[in-house]
Amino acid sequence: MDSSAALYTKLKGAQPFFLMAGPNVIESEEHIMKMAKHIKAITTKLGVPLIFKSSFDKANRTSSKSFRGPGMAEGLKILEKVKVAYDLPIVTDVHESDQCEAVGKVADIIQIPAFLCRQTDLLVAAGKTGKIINIKKGQFCASTVMVNSAEKVRGTGNQNVMVCERGTMFGYNDLIVDPRNLEWMREANCPVVADITHSLQQPAGKKLDGGGVASGGFRELIPCIARTAVAVGVDGIFMEVHDDPLSAPCDGPTQWPLRHLEELLEELIAIAKVSKGKQQFAIDLTPFRD
Compute the Cα dihedral for 132, 137, 141, 144 and give only its sign. positive
Calculate ∠ Cα 34-39-43, nearest 5°: 155
pLDDT of residue 65: 65
Model confidence, pTM: 0.91
What parts of the chain have a pLDDT lower than 70?
1, 59-67, 204-214, 277-290
DSSP string covering 109-128 = EEEEPGGGTT-HHHHHHHHT
Cα 86 to Cα 89: distance, rounded to the nearest angstrom = 9
Q: Beta strands 201-207 and 213-217: pairing type? A: antiparallel
- Per DSSP, 62 falls in state S
| Active site amino acids | 24, 58, 251
In the CATH scheme, what is the code of domain 3-274?
Answer: 3.20.20.70
